[in-house]
Amino acid sequence: MSEKDRPLLIEAQDFNGLLLSLKRLGYATYAPTVRDGAIVYDLVDSADDLPIGIGDVQEPGSYRLRKRGDGSFFGFVVGPHSWKKFLHPPTVKLFTINSNGKIVANLENSDQKLAFIGVRPCELQAIKILDKVLLGGEYLDIVYASRRKDVFFVVVNCIEPGGNCFCASVGTGPEAKDGFDLCLTELLKPDGHYFLVRIGSEKGRELISSVHYRQATDEEVELASRLLTLSSEHMGKKLEIKGMKELLYRNLDHPHWDEVAKRCLTCGNCTMVCPTCFCTTVYETTNLSLKYAEKWRSWDTCFSQEFSYIHGGPIRYSISARYRHWLMHKMATWMDQFGTLGCVGCGRCITWCPVGIDITEEVKQIDKRDGEVKVKVE
């Protein structure tokens, strides 16, 4: 490893300097913080706003915070929010039109510089996937493009996976490989609290020069590598990706789709917390005087009957058809459509499902009974 490529080390007490430097450069600094019993992403002013010493416990259909007993800044995995909400907002006004048919207010382009601090590797991959979906085709999503154009990424590698994590199975973590400006690995050692820093861009190199740092030693680099290896080996969930697309394609009529539908509430939680789901609906509103109308766009979910409604009724009337569509899109048809999985292994859909439906277990059940079909009663 050349000296130029050798990771750097900053002390935890100097971490706030990164935030202050980003703010001085005009970035709005977003990071994890505690609110309403969960770790969410919001504007922060300093490192004191981070969930210091807070961890989380996640199981199917279960989420709670816990005190760690140390000063870790990033001792948790992911919460109900994803970074998607800042780039592909849940609700956005597209334009306002008056009664004469004249557009009086177009969509405003966002000129704000955004800094995302504490992005997990799986979440970084989710943003790369959204880039493909919303920027990579013939028609660009101008809302997303406006917000995405100037984002500074401070990624934090995962050294303690959660109970529902399976990023190692889908190749999105626990270590970020590229696409970041700065990548941190948090090290809590007997002699202190440090962050191993890898630089991923010139913007990152310029920013790190504004805080006190030193070159990391071979032992510190090895420690970070060892922690990430252990993290990869101790994921809460596992999923066999090889051959999965073909498995799902040949089991469109598998009886397990009906079995999981008996538990599914079609609440849409899984799609709302998913960092890659991008479906929306467009609707119009008017004021009471009928002088103006507004066109709005909001997130939508394929778990509702209305989502697939066409003249004559919805295409996917049954719960089993809707669940199958969602899982198939994530794990199979997305690959044909965009050249990548639609799942990054963050486990949010498992945690925030009210009945604890586990996407990894549903695929395993289909694999276990591969080729079984519904018995049709005449």
Any idea where the domains of the chain sit in the sequence?
Answer: 8-89+107-233, 244-289+300-368
Q: Is the pLDDT of residue 109 over 70?
A: no
Looking at residue 102, what is its pLDDT? 83
**Averaged pLDDT, 258-265:** 96
**Averaged pLDDT, 159-165:** 95
DSSP class of residue 340 equals S
Q: Is the pLDDT of residue 175 over 70?
A: yes
Q: Is the pLDDT of residue 159 over 90?
A: yes
Residue 93 dihedral angles phi and psi, to the nearest 5°? -85, 125
Cβ atoms within 10 A of the Cβ of 217, count?
12
Greatest CA separation for the chain: 76
Q: What is the pLDDT of residues 35-86, one digit of tens each?
A: 999 999 999 999 999 999 999 999 999 999 999 989 999 999 999 999 999 9
Q: What is the pLDDT of residues 236-251, one digit of tens each?
A: 999 999 999 999 999 9
Interaxial angle between packed helices 359-368 and 319-328, expressed in degrees from 0 to 180 and rounded to the nearest 10: 100
Q: With bands split at pLDDT 50, 70 and 90, how would you rate the model's confidence at 378?
A: very low
Q: What is the pLDDT of residues 199-220, one digit of tens each?
A: 999 999 999 999 999 999 999 9
Lay out the sheet containing 103-106: strands in order across.
Answer: 103-106, 91-98, 292-299, 280-286
Helix, strand, coil proportions of the chain in percent (round to 5)? 35, 25, 45
Residue 141 dihedral angles phi and psi, to the nearest 5°? -85, 105
**Averaged pLDDT, 218-224:** 94
Q: Give percent of the chain above pLDDT 90.
A: 83
d(CA 58, CA 273): 14
d(CA 312, CA 273): 31
Q: Is the pLDDT of residue 142 over 60?
A: yes
Helix H or strand E segment including 82? none
Beta bridge partners of 282: 297
Q: Is the pLDDT of residue 190 over 90?
A: no
Q: Is the pLDDT of residue 341 over 90?
A: yes
Of residues 175, 170, 177, the one with CA closest to residue 158: 175
103-106 and 91-98 beta bridge pairing: antiparallel
Looking at residue 377, what is its pLDDT? 42
d(CA 73, CA 95): 41
**Averaged pLDDT, 139-156:** 94
Residue 355 has which token pair? Answer: 């009945």
**Averaged pLDDT, 339-348:** 96
**Averaged pLDDT, 128-144:** 92
pTM check: above 0.85: yes
Q: Is the pLDDT of residue 3 over 70?
A: no
Q: Mean pLDDT across the chain, nearest whole number?
A: 93
Q: Is the pLDDT of residue 375 over 60?
A: no
Looking at residue 108, what is its pLDDT? 66
Q: What is the pLDDT of residues 79-98, one digit of tens each?
A: 999 999 999 999 999 989 88
Looking at residue 309, what is its pLDDT? 86
Q: Is the pLDDT of residue 256 over 70?
A: yes
